[in-house]
């Protein structure tokens, strides 16, 4: 939003007053004196008028190693939610970017930056680059090279008339594998294995793009994202 529109809308100044304040160098954005009415501001810009703070919101980004049994939701009347695990911080403005079902464990991203989270989770067209998501999967039955090839070709979901992008399946042991997918469809991993006659027993998300859970964060623990983890997406994902 333009600075003059923001001040008229959120600070209840008239347009004439805003222009006067700007010309008198009475407006600062993120510590910088601004005189241009069209200067762009966001929900996280620190805006001051005549030394008084009009807006000061901080963008926040966290990763959580979600345990089983917790919903990817902000509130729920029955089940505990992932947000209850973020103890000691204000979670009132946070939302979840890329949900996991209640039984699935692993990497969950929480933020108050809607633009950033939409970029992270948006379903791309087949021509556009997509963000890889890596899962550790345990299946009920043994895996075979046939499954590897089927996933590489893409799995067709009749309900949505949709074929997944080519996925990479790396077999670690008889029933354990790493799966990399490029969408985030409803129960996608479980449905992909079901399509080849197998069943997922345990599912754990390890990585989204360059945001990796790693080995230091125990189940139920969380931490703030690093600057690299926050910014990589703006550099590599258009």
Catalytic amino acids?
A: 101
188: enclosing H helix or E strand? helix 188-195
State the Cα–Cα distance between residues 142 and 121, nearest whole angstrom: 31
C-alpha distances in Å from residue 237, one per residue of 107, 132, 134, 147, 234: 20, 11, 17, 29, 6
Instruction: For residue 229, count other CB atoms closer than 10 A to its CB.
Output: 17
Contact 110, 62 (CB under 8 A): yes
State the Cα–Cα distance between residues 159 and 108, nearest whole angstrom: 27
**β partners of residue 32:** 29
Residues 49-58: contacts with CB within 8 Å, 24+ apart? 49/7, 49/11, 49/13, 49/21, 50/21, 50/26, 54/7, 54/10, 54/11, 55/6, 55/10, 57/112
Q: Coil, strand or helix: which one is 40?
A: strand
């Amino acid at each position: 939003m333009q600075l003059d529109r923001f001040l008229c809308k959120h600070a209840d100044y008239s347009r004439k007053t805003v222009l006067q304040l700007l010309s008198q160098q009475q407006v600062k954005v993120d510590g910088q004196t601004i005189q241009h009415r069209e200067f762009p501001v966001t929900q996280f810009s620190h805006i001051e008028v005549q030394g008084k703070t009009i807006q000061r919101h901080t963008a926040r980004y966290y990763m959580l190693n979600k345990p089983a049994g917790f919903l990817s939701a902000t509130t729920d009347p029955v089940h505990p939610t992932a947000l209850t695990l973020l103890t000691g911080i204000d979670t009132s403005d946070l939302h979840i970017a890329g949900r996991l079902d209640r039984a699935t464990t692993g990497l969950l991203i929480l933020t108050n930056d809607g633009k950033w989270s939409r970029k992270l989770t948006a379903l791309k067209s087949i021509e556009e680059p997509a963000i890889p998501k890596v899962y550790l999967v345990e299946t009920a039955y043994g895996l075979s090279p046939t499954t590897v090839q089927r996933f590489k070709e893409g799995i067709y979901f009749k309900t949505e008339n949709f074929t997944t992008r080519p996925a990479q399946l790396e077999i670690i042991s008889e029933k354990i594998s790493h799966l990399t997918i490029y969408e985030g469809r409803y129960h996608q991993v479980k449905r992909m294995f079901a399509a080849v006659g197998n069943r997922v027993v345990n599912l754990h998300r390890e990585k989204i793009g360059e945001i990796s859970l790693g080995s230091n964060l125990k189940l139920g623990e969380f931490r703030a994202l690093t600057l690299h983890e926050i910014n990589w997406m703006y550099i590599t994902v258009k």
